Amino acid sequence: MEMAFKTNIKHFFKLKLPIFAIVFLTLFVTSYSFSFASDYVLPYPSSMPGSKFYTLHRLFEKFENYWYFGNFAKFHYDLKYSDRYLVEAKTLFEYRQYLLANDSLDKSNLYFFKAKQSLIDAKNNNKDISEKQGIFKNASLKHIEILSAIRLMVPSEFEWQPEKEKSTKIYIQKKIDESVRMREL
C-alpha cells in the first residue's frame, strides 16, 4: 500500500509538475503586467459631507493651501485635492447624493484647472515640467476613466426638492461631459 502511494506521488510530480509550473508562471506574468496597467492611483475617500470630521478636513485644506508655495508645490497640492474631490463625487454619485456629488465635482474641476495653471506658470518661468506633465497626463486619463464610469450610472438630470424651498434641477451628465472635456489634453 505504501509503495503504491509513493508511486502515485512520483507519477503525479512527473506529469503534473510541469503543467503546474506553466500555469503558475502564466498567472504570475499576466498578473505582473496587469498590476502596472494603471500608473496613477486615486486616494481612498476620507471623510464625506455630513461627517463630524468633514469640516475639520475642509479647514485643514484651507490652512494647507498657504503651506504650498511655488509652481510645483501648488501643482501637487491642487492635483491632490482634485483627486480627493473626484473620489468624493464618485462615492456620492454611487449613493445617489446628486446635489452633494455635483458640488464635489465642481471642487474637483476647480482644483484640476488650478493644477493645469500651475504647470503653465512653471513652464512660463522656464522650469522643466516634463516629469510633471507625465503625472498630469496620467491623472487626466484616470479622471476621464472614473468620470466615464460615473456617467454610465447616473441619470442625465435630477431635480432636487428640499423642504420648504425651491427645487434645483441638476444636469448631471452635462456636468460630467464638461469635466471630461476639461481633462482632455
Quote the CA–CA distance of 131 and 144 in Å, as a whole number. 20
- Pairing type for strands 158-160 and 168-170 reads antiparallel
State the pLDDT confidence band at 142, using cuts at 50, 70 and 90.
very high
pLDDT at 151 over 70: yes
Quote the CA–CA distance of 133 and 95 in Å, as a whole number. 33
DSSP state of 43: P
DSSP state of 10: H
CB 158 within 8 A of CB 164: no
CB 78 within 8 A of CB 150: no
State the pLDDT confidence band at 178, using cuts at 50, 70 and 90.
very high
CA contacts within 13 A on the Cβ side of 26: 6
User: Could you please report the per-residue DSSP string of 98-161?
Assistant: HHHHHHHHHHHHHHHHHHHHHHHHHHHTT---HHHHHHHHHHHHHHHHHHHHHHHHS-S-EEE-
State the pLDDT confidence band at 37, using cuts at 50, 70 and 90.
very low
pLDDT at 23: 57
pTM above 0.75, yes or no: yes
Mean pLDDT is highest, among 15-24, 43-52, 140-149, for: 140-149
3-state secondary structure 52-89: CCHHHHHHHHHHHHHHCCCHHHHHHHHHHHHHHHHHHH
Quote the CA–CA distance of 176 and 106 in Å, as a whole number. 10
65 compared with 142, residue with greater pLDDT:
142
pLDDT at 14: 63
Domain boundaries, the chain: 54-183
pLDDT at 135 over 80: yes
* pLDDT mean over 116-137: 96
* pLDDT mean over 139-151: 97
- 57-115 pLDDT tens trace: 999 999 998 889 899 999 999 999 999 999 999 999 999 999 999 999 999 999 999 99
